[in-house]
Amino acid sequence: MKIIKRSGTEVEFDIEKIISAVRRANKEVVENDRLTNEQIDSISENVERILKSVNRTFNVEEIQDLVENEIMNLKFFEVARKYITYRYKRSLVRKSNSTDKQILSLIECNNEEVKQENSNKNPVINSVQRDYMAGEVSKDITKRFLLPEDIVRAHEEGIIHFHDSDYFAQHMHNCCLVNLEDMLQNGTVISEVMIERPKSFSTACNVATQCIAQIASSQYGGQSITLSHLAPFVNVSRIKARKLVTQEFREAGLDLNENEINKVAELRVREEIKRGVQIIQYQVITLMTTNGQAPFITIFMYLDEVEEGQTRDDLALIIEEMLRQRILGVKNEKGVYITPAFPKLIYVLEEDNIHEGSKYWNITKLAAECTAKRMVPDYISEKKMLEYKIDKNGNGHCYPCMGCRSFLTPYIDKEGNPKYYGRFNQGVVTINLVDVACSSKKDPEAFWDIFDERLELCRRALMHRHERLLGTPSDVAPILWQYGALARLKKGEKIDKLLFNGYSTISLGYAGLCECTRYMTGKSHTEEGGTEFALKVMQRMNDACRMWKEQTKIDFSVYGTPLESTTYKFAKCLQKRFGLIKGVTDKNYITNSYHVHVTEEIDAFTKLTFESKFQRLSPGGAVSYVEVPDMQNNIDAVLAVMKHIYDNIMYAELNTKSDYCSCCGYDGEIIIVTDKDGKLIWECPNCGNNDEDQMNVARRTCGYIGTQFWNQGRTQEIRERVMHL
């Protein structure tokens, strides 16, 4: 059985250490108040039994809490007091230099918590280690100097989650929609080098990837670009190709037949589109940002985003090529085609492509094939988004999320035009809804009172995020604030005006609606009685955001948090505070946002229709999914799900499996098993290989694809997912 030390390293459980610690405390009290040796053995055995009964790895602090409880249960209060005092003194010693051991464990690559923290970061890589080391320092500074004690305590106890505290010391924002159109059409500056308007499509693609890498290094969240901003450069290449082909025909003494010239030029344009898309795919995967991972980038594919005619036809060609190359995949070090994590793709379903026989139906079929093979693209319904995203003039809009699920609120600029690209999110704080429920002890009145108190705590934490950005000079990230990605501010100008009146958003995240509802009503939120309660919870958060917005002129928005490592943290904190409650705290994870619990039997169409009610009440970000088997030989079923998405829900995805074992060449599903220590590990069902370095596993983590494995809570959640189709 393994435990996790304070430094994050994983070691074998040693019962003798508990016995030794209790004996030290025991010696500090008078003889009449001491435990017997048999009682000390009983305490240690009880703790060991508890550790074995819960299917997860405990850390040292949790084990010491269990020891305290056992001593108190025997009513040896003087011994317990000495034990607590010893812990406190040791804690003071550690706090005098709180980050050293954590950083050393990072360098030696034996920090299990960090290894499993981010499913797209490899902690062995130097640049990742450097980012994590800086993050440890930032978290320490944030905890000791930048945040009030009650917010830090609430974060550590899992009552709320103050996201990305490892970046909070710097003046950085979360995620954005890149104004690639401005950067390409008007030029930009990268590393103090002027980049002029590209003279071809492939050059535009190359510039775009360089911008993506620079932007990713200047913020800590996801970014999105649209292929619509690249589409005009296809015709730039076409005009250029026609001139060159005409010259070649003339030099070769051939008839200057315009149809033939155009035909040859078009072949070259198609080849350039292929090259340009290849540049995007391979550059994004191989470029490494300053935090040691590929840029977290989403590519938006929306035909109706450009006017009908040549540009839309060119956009269709780019989308088609993007899908074909993603279906192929990328080669790993063994030369085998695998599923890459990025770029994430989103394809918009609209009237011109969703019906059989419609103009772009062939592209939609290709998208279905791509999803069946590589899990992307994900799908936005233009129809439903136009219903949900209504501006102040009553008009609906369709636009991409920032990264995997964070959506901006509709915004009209001073000229009366809708604006999305060039906007961003200031940050996220998440409320643990399960903790609110359990703290209320099923008293409805207490629930709403505690809920309001926790919302106020989140508001204050979010205001600290906002205030950290106030006064930020544009010089901190020139490509963002001065050279078009988000703005064209002057040198030294502060970004403050971009933080108010809806230009940017700030997000109230939430998690565990399912378990919260189950505790308070005894029912799933998919059942009558449970659904009504869950919708009231969602409405309460929206009402709070609306009130905060009126008070501050900041766009607060309800956001369906994509819990990754936090799902495990929240689960551990709940178990510590409330014990194991069946159906509520008995898993090593809690459910993402409003989602139906992963173990609940429900078909894909019912699930998507049900969750659409909650997407509407999660305007700051949400994505639904359905778990499906291998669909490569059943594309009609994929298309049926896509049509259902178009008619019923704004944003959804299909999860399948895409794995490869380097030991035996198996390319089916790598499974999750339990090892002798009770730890969940990945194993090839063909050869039994369980070396993570010798396999490629891709799973939808929480809106995006992860490829670097996950912590024990998320791994359990992945194993327990039921099929919806």
Q: State the alpha helices, DSSP H only, in 419-443.
A: 433-440
Beta pairing partners, 331? 337
**308 has catalytic annotation:** no
Question: Is 260 a catalytic site residue?
Answer: no
Q: Known catalytic residue: 406?
A: yes
- Strand 555-560 to 505-511 pairing: parallel
Active site residue 690: no
Strands 176-177, 223-226: pairing kind? parallel
Candidates 292, 427, 530, 703; catalytic one: 703
Q: Which helix (H) or strand (E) holds 285?
A: helix 258-286
Choosing from 7, 200, 291, 406, the catalytic residue is: 406
- Say whether 248 is catalytic: no
Task: Point out the catalytic residue in the list 172, 175, 322, 702.
Answer: 175
Of residues 174, 565, 588, 593, which has the active-site annotation? 174
CB-based contacts of 38: which residues, under 8 Å, 6+ apart? none
Is 686 a residue of the active site? no
How many angstroms from the chain centroid is the CA of residue 395?
30
The catalytic residue among 425, 440, 504, 524 is 425
Positive or negative: CA dihedral 392, 397, 399, 401: positive
Is residue 175 part of the annotated active site? The answer reads yes
Alpha helices by DSSP H, listed for 28-159, are 37-53, 60-73, 77-95, 100-107, 112-115, 126-141, 149-156
- Tell me if 714 sits within 8 A of 701, measured CB to CB: yes
* Residue 49 burial class via C-beta count within 10 angstroms: exposed 0-12, middle 13-18, buried 19 and up: exposed
Catalytic residue among 183, 211, 401, 402: 402
User: Using CB atoms within 10 A of its CB, is residue 649 exposed (0-12), middle (13-18) or buried (19+)?
Assistant: buried
Vertex 273, ends 272 and 277: CA angle to 5°? 115
- The bridge status of strand 160-162 relative to strand 58-59 is unpaired
DSSP per-residue codes, 167-205: GTTS-----EE--HHHHHHH-EEETTEEE---SSHHHHH
User: Which is catalytic among the residues 483, 503, 510, 559?
Assistant: 559
307's CB contacts (< 8 A; 6+ apart) are: none
Sequence-ordered strand ranges (E) for 214-278:
223-226
φ, ψ for residue 406 (rounded to 5)? -75, 120
Alpha-carbon distance of 600 to 527, in angstroms, equals: 12
Q: Which of 404, 538, 541, 545 is catalytic?
A: 404
Burial of residue 646, with CB atoms counted within 10 A of its CB: 0-12 exposed, 13-18 middle, 19 or more buried:
buried
Q: Is the peptide bond before 377 cis (omega within 30 degrees of 0)?
A: yes
Beta bridge partners of residue 428, listed in sequence order: 507
Contacts of residue 480, defined as CB under 8 A and 6 or more positions apart, other chains included, come to 176, 215, 218, 219, 474, 486, 487
With 0-12 / 13-18 / 19 or more C-beta atoms within 10 angstroms meaning exposed / middle / buried, residue 553 is exposed
My answer on whether omega of the bond before 685 falls inside 30° of 0, hence cis, is: no
Q: Which residues pair with 507 in a beta bridge?
A: 428, 557
CA 624 to chain centroid, in Å, comes to 13
Give dist(CA 141, CA 170) in Å, integer.
Answer: 11
Residue 30, token pair as written in the block: 């008078």
| Residues annotated catalytic, as ranges | 174-175, 402, 404, 406, 425, 559, 564, 703
